[in-house]
A = this chain, B = another copy of it.
Amino acid sequence: MSEELGVTVKKSENFSEWYTQVVKKAELADIRFNVKGFLVHMPWSVRAMKLMYRAFEEELEKRGHQPLMLPSVIPESNFEKEKEHAEFKAEVFWITEVGSERRKLEERLALRPTSETAFYQMYSLWVRSWRDLPMKRYQSCQVWRHETKATRPFIRGREFWWIEAHDAFATREEAEAQVKEDAEITERVMHKLFGIPFLFFQRPEHDKFQGAVHTYAADTVMPDGKVLQLPSTHFLGQNFARAFNIKFVDKEGEERHVWQTCYGPAIWRIFGAIVAIHGDDKGLILPPEVAPIQAIVVPIFFKGTEREVLKKARAIERAIVGGGVRAKVDVREEYTPGWKYNYWELKGTPLRIEIGPRDVEKGQVVLVRRDTGDKINVEDEELLKKIGKVLGDIQSNLIRRADEFFEMKRSKAKNMKELKTCLKKKGGLVRVNWCGEEGCADLIKSETGGGEIKGTLFGKDEKPSGKCVRCGKRAKQVVYVGKMY
């Protein structure tokens, strides 16, 4: 464990350095593995991401998805089947040989960068009749992409962990409804459980997933004002169904291609957003849903009372674990209570329970909230109920704070000058009118130093009232501009 325990920069002053320090000092990842862009994930982040997986999987299963595990390798020829999707090959790590003697494979194998071309060759075997539809399957797995941009733990890497859900339907309408359902899942899990606010966009034509008819994505805003893409959903139409020959016989006996969507909540990157958005100058703040330990019990030893204090700490641990709270006593003797407070604050544990000899006497404990620092005296009998309530309050408070920040980072611009000022002064997402021409999007990007059109708000049908922010011609869409990670 590092001697220098705390984060030494302020988040508001140097977010980038703050993030790097939190990842290291809260022991989330070790970047010293000897392959560029690949990380070692440490116990604290592994446990948190496991909880995140569970939350997303539960929500997917409630809505009829079933789990699969597909091979990690995909033959090159699979990528060739859907013409636009073949562009993915640019990011692929290729397996070309086996064994000690460099024996060449007949066909090179991709480490999956995404699994459309693996799922859909199976769907073409599995889908036969309308009775097989909808077919909703997902896998929780890692993917590999040879990113050329700078990598950053949990934000961009060459190996990352996600869920990919692949759904096939009998009709276009059902597939379109799935896009809405994916937006709802994102809202329920990412916003309501993890406290990450977002806007759900339909991406412009020039920024679609390779092979998709439409691409939708949830974007959040990071503390430095940059925009981060989180789960995206692709409406694939019948592109892959035709490429992979996925057909069903409908109720009238006609053979038809299925309609498809895919949805990709990147657990790894959402964890990065949680770290970035909720944390403060003391380190991480984990929403209770994601915290491996929700309540850390710190016994305060004074000479002669150690036994009683520890006994009570253990009893309280048992009681609240029995009540369904993830709790633990920090029994380490080599550290002072003060050091432990700092340690668990750095780790982002939502709640601390302090127990000293006087608390034993009085039949109480002291609860300390990580988000506000508030201290609350609670009588032993009230403890379990109170912990449930306080964890709920922390959850609401984290969502509220994140929402407020997110709202603060939204603005509107009528012309390029305003747009540049908004992007420069606070970043975030700026609402503008746009003519719909890719040329204008390119000019906006170059002239603002990276401002990208993230798309139209999904399900809102916002009507443009003026002229294109760049060319002054009649605007066709209301879109949002932001600088991306």
- List the interface of chain A (C-beta within 8 A of B): 30, 32-35, 38-43, 46-47, 50, 66-75, 78, 89-100, 102, 108-109, 111, 118, 121-122, 125, 131, 137, 142, 144, 146, 159, 161, 334
Contact = CB atoms under 8 A, between A and B. Distances in A.
A68 B43 contact: yes
Q: What 10 pairs across the A-B complex have the smallest Cβ distances?
A: A38-B71, A41-B69, A43-B66, A98-B146, A46-B67, A89-B100, A96-B96, A90-B100, A94-B97, A93-B95
Contacts of A71: 33, 35, 38-40, 159
30 contacts: A30-B122, A32-B125, A33-B70, A34-B75, A38-B71, A38-B73, A39-B71, A40-B69, A40-B71, A40-B122, A42-B68, A43-B66, A43-B67, A43-B68, A46-B67, A71-B159, A72-B72, A73-B159, A90-B99, A90-B100, A92-B100, A93-B95, A94-B95, A94-B96, A94-B98, A95-B95, A95-B96, A95-B111, A96-B96, A99-B146
Contacts of A32: 122, 125
B40 A72 contact: no
A72 B30 CA distance: 15
A97 B96 contact: yes
Given A90-B100, A93-B95, A97-B96, A34 B69 contact: no
A98 B93 contact: yes
Nearest to A57: B50
Among A34, A89, A108, residue most surrounded by chain B Cβ atoms (within 10 Å): A34
B34 A121 contact: yes
Contacts of A144: 72-73
A125 B30 contact: yes
B41 A73 contact: no
A108 B35 CA distance: 11
A121 B125 CA distance: 44
Contacts of A146: 98-99
Nearest to A334: B131
Contacts of A78: 34
Contacts of A67: 43, 46-47, 50
Contacts of A89: 99-100
Nearest to A77: B34
A33 B98 contact: no
Given A33-B122, A92-B98, A99-B91, A40 B70 contact: yes
A121 to B, nearest CB: 7
Nearest to A125: B32
A74 B75 CA distance: 21
Contacts of A142: 72
A433 B16 CA distance: 67
Contacts of A99: 89-92, 146
Contacts of A90: 99-100
A144 B30 CA distance: 24
B30 A46 contact: no
Among A75, A95, A125, residue most surrounded by chain B Cβ atoms (within 10 Å): A95
A131 B72 CA distance: 39
A93 B425 CA distance: 50
A71 to B, nearest CB: 4
A95 B118 CA distance: 19
Nearest to A137: B43
B91 A68 contact: no
A78 to B, nearest CB: 7
A364 B466 CA distance: 71
A30 B119 CA distance: 12
A96 B35 CA distance: 13
Contacts of A334: 131
A272 to B, nearest CB: 15
A109 B68 contact: no
A292 to B, nearest CB: 10
Nearest to A145: B98
